[in-house]
Structure 1
Amino acid sequence: MRYALGVEYDGADFQGWQQLGRSGPPSVQAVLEKALSSVADAPVSVVCAGRTDAGVHAECQVVHFDSDAPRDPRAWTLGTTGRLPPSVCVRWCVPVADDFNARFSARARRYRYRLVNRPVRPALYRHTMAWERRPLDVDAMHRAAQALVGEHDFSAFRTVHCQARHARRELQEIVVRRQGEVVEFEVQANAFLHHMVRNIVGSLLEVGAGARPEHWIAEVLAGRDRTLAGPTAPPQGLVFLRPLYPPEWGLPAEVTL
């Protein structure tokens, strides 16, 4: 049987979704596979919708795995969560068709980036929000960001370590808004490049702080040169909200287009 899981995690204690080396903190994938293997009483490997970096969180990461173990979805959900550290849980489990793939069946991914915008750094939300001391013009950032909507070559916003075969992506929506001291960026695309969201946010912050004009974002995009863009925003403000799938897969509404 093939199953899909919705997984929530706080990325502060992990080196990312995937293990990058033998030393240091574990990966989310490693602790999830260990817990699933314990429930199945056999080795289990998972495939995720989108890998996240160290310090990045997920509200609903979707993974798939195969197992012959006679377990119902409730047993996979509760049994696995009971074997996971407090920073990770399985929200739901759904049996899926054998050709479902958490990565390749997804049609879009959605991320949210939050930061506290005030002169003093945050204490309470330091693991889940970034901090920007400079006053930010949210309207200017939102207007500037609309130049990124559509299908473009996003080479200017990918890390040099990105392993994607090409940099063309379709950015479907980007919204910048403020709620009191919190500034929020929400982005949806068919797929993302390594550090793409954090590099976009870092560049928009230059516009919001008045260091660059609004039209600069369009110029950076057209230049296709990472050295022309702004710095990479810190990881703790980023949350992978969810991937999105066609309805025929029968997944929960929160991950269905």
Structure 2
Amino acid sequence: MFIFDILVFLLILISHGLTAIVNTNDFPQILTRQHNQTLNLSDTAILTCHVTNLGNHHVTWLKYDRNTSTFLPLTVGEQVFLSDKRYSVTYYSISSDNSYWNLEIYNTKLSDEGIYECKISNRRRSVSIKIHLYIQIPMSIQPSRLYVEPGSEVELDCMIYNINTSSITWAFSSYDNTYHYSNHLDGIHEKIQHEKNISKLQLIIPHAQTYHSGLWTCTYKRQRRSARILVVKG
């Protein structure tokens, strides 16, 4: 009788274990991998969360808040908690247990940059993935390639949309690594201009020499634009 009771007890434990495994496997999964996403200013951002076996659970989109060092909810299911009408959530299903939940941000601003989280949770479990959204600003350099003779004046224009030019820096990489750029060296200087919504930081080399040949790069945060200069005789 004692052995029978033990067997019954073991069977109960096994059945509970199997039930727990089934319940664990029944919990929703997020198939989207964590990644970075880069868009231009004013583009529409579509952050996608591919979900399986959602059942009665809800997909929540959150954004990391630096002030509180926590993730704050933006949406739960189809409900949006922001007054900002640029934010919306859409979803569609490709099968009964396979769906896509998209957080859409229209006319992106610099303030939209940050870490977003797609999350599914209940009292016992949670799954989530993070997407780091970067917003880049239209930026260009002119000319991008230049051939001049020694002694010529060179002007490079680094232009960026509506940004303080003090945030832009210049760097130089020579072809033979014999010259290191420093502002005011060889009379090289910078000039700032503003035209409507465009800010221009101009780099001026008054008397270009052969050692100025190389790659001149203007940088704003993660964005870089480069110009190749070749100073040669005749």
Same fold (TM over 0.5): no
TM-score of the aligned structures, taking structure 2 as reference length: 0.25
More strand, by proportion: 2
More helix, by proportion: 1
Larger CA Rg, structure 1 vs 2: 2
TM-score of the aligned structures, taking structure 1 as reference length: 0.23
